[in-house]
């Protein structure tokens, strides 16, 4: 049997074939061909990297050791695909809209693009994946060894360690060649995806082939197989419920959180709709691949010598039966499972390491500007290649240190439990806006610490890292810090124990810290975007380049800059490009120019975001939006300041206008007043001057004539004097310079004096009074009050035009007021003039009665000085005036007597 050599040759041919497939797919994708690459089937098959060598070999070993428990590993993802596909869809949608490149990117993006979180997740992912990679190396190494054992004629064998090393090196090479060929913006790897899809077919086919061989070739048919199963110890196996539930949840969590699963599921997806196909096709794949696990395990246990490694039944059963071809196929299936997982995991991890750890450090060290530095690209590629090599080396290291002794399934579960720690932060981020960075960091930290202590470190076996004493007596001798009985939880399965504690503490700490700490604005914004991704991720319509973009840019520019200005700018640019019309090509130069112009109006960030939106170069990032918000806030602040200023100016202007109007009014009043005074003075002086000249120049006047003219002169002189007196009086009253001469006196006596001073009872006018009501003792300036009464009485005498003129003086006390009415029986004052009679120089009637129109104005001033008032009483028989005076304490006393 030259099987080992054949195997090596077949293996090499297989790898070359994979290279060809990957290369072809990359070429096809590069040239836009190969729609078959974008089939949902390829997507579904690529998801099968969930089924690693662990599945291929380990499931049988799992079943041989623990019965049907291995099914939990398939049930978890099946439940996720069927029952939770909408959560996956949310992740996929976010992955595309936020241009997510890895799970570290996803979590850090959600929590405000926190780099510390990204670094943390990356480190944890690397640590968590290392056992898994070691597992693949181990399986390939073991399968090689199995062949070597069977091939007894092969002479000396390479030891297991060097086999693992060469496998790791080969995988690193393959991954580097296809995983880092280019730095695609969307991080898709068509070649790799195609290759792993093919490997998925190979491994399924191989496992089914072995299964068919075992059932029909070895066991002798379906019914015999079932009989064998019933009699085997596997059927007797009792599975503790807690372990079932725990394992299902764990595998479900790992399915979503494993970096490599995230890579194929979210990053490499071509179309969101593929998820729909995968949601039923992938569970079928899982079902098929697990179909023959139990028969192989049962038959293997019965047919193979005791002590055979159940993890290798898939390989050793065909070998035992001398089916070399089938054995080689089986080996290729296992090889495919291992390589596909390692390649994708290495790509995913190297992306994270390079993007979140190496690049930030490199940029920080060199201070390079991303946009200007051309060699960033080569640095990124280099760091990715190095990362891949380092990750595989770490896997190899774990394999060597752990001694390859642990069962495959156990190692896989340790990895699962490690990456499952991402779940609270990931799900919390997708569905809970209150989740924040501090909570995510704290939860992840606690969860990972527990995982490290309870599961990862003990997995190396006692004495390697954790001393036996710690495992038995707890850390620092504290019994509640025993890695397998934390907080005194004894008697549990170590895995369930570790998962329970790490996940629950992780979740509790995550929620509590999120509740008590405050997110930054970017976190809030991202939180809203993540939680509500379906509400506002309408994808921008396709801008199909060239002039269509220019047209849209012009429309936008017109809105911002105004039509004329925008058209001028565009036409100028078109002309400088040698184009007719006003639509230039959207060259980088022109876009920059436009952005500069627009930023004058809307701010730099907004202009950039708007142009990006139209040209579709880059999606608008959160930083862009924040900058836009900042600018908007500044503009709003500025405009509200302007508004306040404008309002203030308007108020000042209004005040000025009012002041000006007042001044103008006062000026007009003053002019009017001066004109009036001038008129009142000049009129009597005209008569005086004219008659003086007549008397002087004319001879032969009789005495009568002389007397007549001299009397006119005298009358006018008296009128002039009275006018001056009134003017002075009014001036004194108005300026408040008047000194009141308060005396005590009887109202009746005072009215008597006023009547006689106003011409007495001699004239035709009859004055009606009621002496009883007039018996009021007054304490006031009696002379001033008399002046008012005289004025009112003489006005009545002058203006009352009744045939039998009468004036009634009525005195009345109302509450604390003394009311004195003067009512005549004439025509009264026309309604339209009633409001002006108290104004200076207002006169009623056509003919002059000698006054200058100052009398009532003076009365008004006097009454105000005495603390009372005077008003016209409308609706009486004739003209009616009402003078009111407050009754002070003294007057009231007097009146009471």
Q: Does residue 675 touch another protein according to CB under 8 A?
A: yes
Closest CA to 340 of 15, 782, 722, 16: 15
- Span near another protein by CB under 8 A; candidates 84-92, 157-165, 327-335, 667-675: 667-675
Minimum CB separation of residue 790 from another protein in Å reads 25
Q: Which stretch binds another protein (CB under 8 A): 78-86, 363-371, 623-631, 682-690?
A: 682-690
In the bound complex, what is the minimum distance in angstroms from residue 795's beta carbon to another protein? Answer: 18
Residue 679 binding another protein, by CB under 8 A: yes
Please report how close the Cβ of residue 688 comes to another protein at its closest, in angstroms. 7
Return the residue of 688, 809, 883, 885 that touches another protein, per CB under 8 A: 688
Nearer to another protein, 576 or 669 (CB): 669
Q: Are strands 766-768 and 481-482 parallel, antiparallel or unpaired?
A: unpaired
Assigned token pair, 483 = 């890695």
- Tell whether residue 801 is a contact of another protein (CB under 8 A): no
Interface segment toward another protein; rule CB under 8 A; list 274-282, 434-442, 654-662, 692-700: 692-700
Nearer CB in complex with another protein: 287/714: 714
The C-alpha atoms of residue 72 and residue 247 are separated, in whole angstroms, by 6
According to CB under 8 A, which one of 16, 540, 668, 685 is a site residue for another protein?
Answer: 685
Q: Where are the alpha helices (DSSP H) in 800-847?
A: 831-834
Burial of 36 (0-12, 13-18, 19+ CB in 10 A): exposed
Q: What's the min distance (Å) between Cβ of 833 and another protein?
A: 13
89 versus 843: smaller Cβ distance to another protein:
843
Given the rule CB under 8 A, which of 157-165, 305-313, 503-511, 671-679 is the region that contacts another protein?
671-679
Between residues 709 and 838, which has the closer beta carbon with respect to another protein? Answer: 709
> Which structure tokens are listed for 670?
């003053």
667 near another protein, judged by CB under 8 A: no
> In 781-837, which residue ranges form alpha helices assigned H by DSSP?
782-799, 831-834
Smallest distance from another protein to CB 671, Å: 8
- Residue from 674, 718, 728, 764 binding another protein (CB under 8 A): 674
List the beta bridge partners of residue 820: 811, 883
Q: From 242-250, 280-288, 455-463, 679-687, give the range in contact with another protein by CB under 8 A.
A: 679-687
Nearer CB in complex with another protein: 650/668: 668
Minimum CB separation of residue 680 from another protein in Å reads 8
Which among 154-162, 553-561, 644-652, 684-692 is the span making contact with another protein, rule CB under 8 A?
684-692
Burial of 224 (0-12, 13-18, 19+ CB in 10 A): middle
517: contact with another protein by CB under 8 A = no
Which of 481, 486, 484 is CA-nearest to residue 462? 484
Question: Which residues, in sequence order, are CB contacts of 267 under 8 Å at separation 6+?
Answer: 95, 100, 101, 102, 186, 187, 188, 348
Smaller CB separation from another protein, 596 or 848: 848
Dist CA 865 CA 780 (whole Å):
10
In order, the DSSP letters of 590-642 are HHHHHHHHHHHHH-HHHHHHHHHHHHTSSPPPHHHHHHHHHHHHHHHHHHHHH
Binding another protein by CB under 8 A: which of 712, 809, 858, 879? 712
Please report whether residue 689 would count as binding another protein according to CB under 8 A.
Answer: yes
Q: Does 660 bind another protein (CB under 8 A)?
A: no
Which of 468, 576, 660, 678 forms a contact with another protein (CB under 8 A)?
A: 678
Are residues 310 and 64 in contact, defined by beta-carbon separation less than 8 angstroms?
Answer: yes
Q: Is the Cβ of residue 675 or residue 731 nearer to another protein in the bound state?
A: 675
Query: Encoding tokens for residue 342?
Result: 């390692």
41-65: b or e for each residue (b if 16 or more CB lie within 10 Å)?
Answer: ebbbbbbbbbbbbbbbbbbbbbbbb
How many of the other CB atoms lie within 10 Å of CB of 888? 14
Classify burial at 90, counting beta carbons within 10 Å of its beta carbon; exposed 0-12, middle 13-18, buried 19 or more: middle
Six-digit token string for 308: 């055979």
Cα distances (Å, whole numbers) of residue 429 to 96, 434, 510, 531, 644: 16, 8, 11, 7, 43
In this structure, how many other beta carbons lie within 10 angstroms of the beta carbon of residue 634? Answer: 11
- # chain residues binding another protein, by CB under 8 A: 28
Stretch that binds another protein, among 326-334, 348-356, 501-509, 676-684 (CB under 8 A): 676-684
CB of 116 or CB of 698, closer to another protein: 698
Among 272, 693, 770, 812, binds another protein (CB under 8 A): 693
Of 656 and 685, the one with the shorter C-beta distance to another protein is 685
Q: Which of 687, 746, 842, 888 is close enough to bind another protein by CB under 8 A?
A: 687
692 vs 892, beta carbon nearer another protein: 692
Q: Is 703 in the site for another protein (CB under 8 A)?
A: no
Spatial distance between the Cα atoms of 447 and 103, rounded to a whole number of angstroms: 17
Bridge partner list, 779: 744
- Determine which residue in the list 303, 552, 715, 783 makes contact with another protein, applying CB under 8 A: 715
Selected from 288, 694, 717, 819, the binder of another protein by CB under 8 A is: 694
Return the residue of 159, 230, 671, 812 that touches another protein, per CB under 8 A: 671
Closest approach of Cβ 642 to another protein, in Å? 45
Dihedral sign (CA 105, 108, 111, 114): negative
CA distance 796 to 822: 9
Would you count residue 271 as binding another protein (CB under 8 A)? no
Closest to another protein by CB, 19 vs 691, is: 691
- What phi-psi label fits residue 562: left (phi over 0), alpha (psi between -120 and 50 degrees) or beta? left
Phi, psi of 281, deg, nearest 5: -75, -35
669 binds another protein (CB under 8 A): no
d(CA 419, CA 132): 11
Cα–Cα distance between 372 and 16 in angstroms, integer?
39
Please give the Cα distance from 441 to 611 (Å, whole number). 36
Residue 682 Cβ vs another protein, minimum distance, rounded to whole Å: 4
Q: How far apart are CA 453 and CA 418, in angstroms?
A: 11
- Of 645 and 689, which has the nearer Cβ to another protein? 689
Between 289 and 852, CB nearer to another protein: 852
Residues 6+ apart with CB under 8 A from 544: none
Query: Which segments of 497-574 are extended strands (E)?
Result: none
Among the candidate windows 326-334, 408-416, 536-544, 690-698, which touches another protein by CB under 8 A? 690-698
- Exactly one of 39, 504, 612, 683 binds another protein (CB under 8 A); that residue is 683
> Which of 504/842 has CB closer to another protein?
842
Minimum CB distance to another protein smaller for 291 or for 677: 677
Least separation in angstroms between CB 710 and another protein: 12
Interface characters, 272-291, with another protein (x: CB under 8 A)? --------------------
d(CA 126, CA 352): 9
With CB under 8 A as the contact rule, the residue among 617, 645, 682, 816 that binds another protein is 682
Closest by CA position to 427, among listed 817, 84, 61, 53: 84
Binding mask 819-858 for another protein (x = CB under 8 A): --------------------------xxxx----------
Contact between 695 and another protein per CB under 8 A: no
For residue 826 the two structure tokens come to 């004439």
Catalog residues that contact another protein under the rule CB under 8 A.
671, 674-675, 678-691, 693-694, 697-698, 712, 715-716, 845-848
């Amino acid at each position: 049997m030259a099987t080992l050599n054949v195997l090596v040759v077949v293996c090499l041919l297989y790898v070359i074939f994979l290279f060809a497939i990957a290369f072809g797919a990359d070429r096809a994708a590069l040239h836009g061909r190969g729609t078959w690459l974008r089939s949902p089937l390829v997507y579904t098959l690529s998801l099968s990297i969930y089924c690693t060598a662990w599945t291929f070999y380990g499931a049988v070993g799992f079943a041989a050791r623990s019965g049907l428990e291995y099914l939990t590993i398939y049930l978890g993802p099946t439940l996720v695909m069927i029952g939770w596909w909408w959560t996956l869809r949310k992740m996929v949608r976010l992955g595309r809209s936020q241009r997510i490149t890895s799970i570290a990117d996803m979590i850090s993006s959600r929590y405000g693009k926190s780099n510390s979180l990204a670094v943390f997740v990356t480190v944890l992912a690397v640590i968590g994946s290392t056992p898994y990679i070691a597992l693949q190396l181990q399986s390939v190494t073991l399968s090689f060894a199995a062949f070597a054992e069977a091939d007894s004629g092969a002479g000396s064998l390479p030891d297991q360690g060097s086999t693992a090393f060469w496998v790791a090196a080969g995988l690193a090479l393959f991954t580097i060649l296809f995983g880092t060929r280019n730095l695609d913006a969307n991080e898709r790897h068509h070649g790799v995806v195609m290759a792993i899809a093919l490997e998925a077919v190979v491994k399924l086919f191989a496992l089914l082939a072995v299964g068919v061989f075992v059932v029909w070739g070895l066991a002798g048919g379906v019914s015999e197989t079932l009989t064998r199963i019933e009699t085997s110890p596997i059927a007797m196996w009792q599975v503790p419920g807690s372990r079932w539930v725990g394992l299902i949840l764990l595998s479900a969590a790992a399915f979503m959180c494993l970096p490599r699963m995230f890579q194929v599921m979210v990053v490499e997806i071509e179309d969101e709709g593929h998820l729909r196909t995968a949601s039923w096709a992938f569970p079928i794949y899982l079902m098929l691949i697990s179909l023959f696990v139990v028969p192989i395990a049962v038959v293997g246990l019965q047919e193979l010598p005791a002590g055979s490694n159940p993890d290798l039944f898939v390989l050793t059963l065909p070998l035992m039966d001398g089916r070399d071809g089938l054995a080689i196929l089986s080996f290729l299936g296992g090889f495919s499972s291992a390589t596909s997982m390692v390649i994708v995991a290495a790509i995913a991890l190297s992306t994270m390491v390079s993007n979140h750890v190496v690049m930030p450090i490199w940029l920080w060290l060199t201070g390079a500007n991303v946009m200007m530095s051309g060699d960033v690209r080569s640095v990124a590629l280099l760091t990715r290649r190095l990362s891949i090599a380092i990750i595989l080396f770490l896997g190899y290291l774990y394999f060597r240190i752990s001694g390859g002794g642990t069962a495959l399934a156990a190692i896989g579960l340790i990895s699962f439990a490690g990456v499952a720690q991402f779940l609270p932060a990931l799900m919390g981020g997708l569905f809970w806006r209150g989740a924040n960075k501090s909570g995510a960091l704290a939860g992840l930290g606690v969860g990972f610490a527990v995982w490290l202590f309870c599961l990862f470190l003990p997995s190396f076996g006692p004495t390697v890292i954790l001393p036996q004493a710690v495992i038995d007596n707890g850390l620092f001798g504290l019994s509640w810090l025993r890695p397998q009985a934390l907080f005194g939880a004894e008697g549990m399965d170590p895995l369930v124990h570790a998962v329970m504690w790490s996940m629950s503490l992780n979740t509790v700490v995550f929620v509590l810290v999120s509740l008590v700490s405050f997110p930054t604005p970017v976190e809030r914004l991202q939180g809203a975007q993540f939680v509500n991704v379906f509400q506002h991720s309408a994808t921008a319509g396709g801008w199909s380049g060239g002039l269509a973009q220019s047209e849209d840019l012009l429309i936008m520019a017109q809105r911002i800059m105004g039509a004329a200005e925008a058209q001028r700018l565009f036409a100028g640019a078109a002309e400088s490009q040698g184009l007719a019309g006003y639509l230039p090509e959207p060259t980088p130069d022109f876009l920059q120019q436009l952005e500069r112009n627009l930023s004058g109006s809307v701010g730099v960030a907004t202009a950039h975001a708007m142009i990006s939106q139209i040209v579709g170069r880059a999606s608008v990032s959160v930083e862009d939006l924040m900058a836009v918000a900042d600018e908007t806030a500044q503009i709003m602040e500025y405009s509200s300041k302007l508004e306040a200023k404008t309002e203030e100016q308007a108020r000042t202007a209004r005040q000025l206008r009012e002041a000006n109007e007042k001044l103008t009014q006062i000026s007009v009043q003053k002019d009017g007043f001066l004109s009036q005074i001038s008129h009142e003075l000049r009129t009597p002086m005209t008569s005086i001057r004219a008659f003086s000249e007549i008397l002087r120049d004319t001879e032969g006047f009789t005495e009568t004539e002389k007397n007549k003219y001299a009397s006119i002169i005298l009358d006018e002189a008296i009128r002039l004097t009275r006018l001056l007196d009134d003017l002075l009086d009014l001036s004194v009253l108005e300026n408040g310079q008047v000194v009141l001469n308060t005396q005590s006196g009887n109202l009746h006596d005072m009215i008597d004096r006023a009547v006689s001073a106003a011409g007495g009872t001699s004239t035709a006018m009859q004055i009606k009074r009621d002496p009883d009501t007039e018996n009021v003792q007054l304490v006031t300036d009696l002379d001033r009050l008399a002046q008012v009464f005289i004025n009112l009485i003489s006005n009545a005498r002058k203006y009352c035009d009744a045939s039998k003129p009468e004036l009634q003086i009525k005195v009345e006390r109302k509450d604390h007021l003394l009311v004195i009415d003067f009512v005549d029986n004439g025509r009264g004052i026309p309604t339209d003039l009633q409001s002006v009679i108290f104004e200076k120089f207002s006169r009623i009637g056509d003919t002059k009665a000698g006054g200058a129109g100052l009398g009532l104005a003076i009365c008004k001033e006097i009454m105000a000085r005495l603390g009372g008032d005077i008003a016209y009483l409308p609706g009486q028989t004739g003209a009616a005036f009402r003078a009111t005076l407050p009754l002070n304490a003294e007057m009231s006393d007097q009146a009471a007597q």
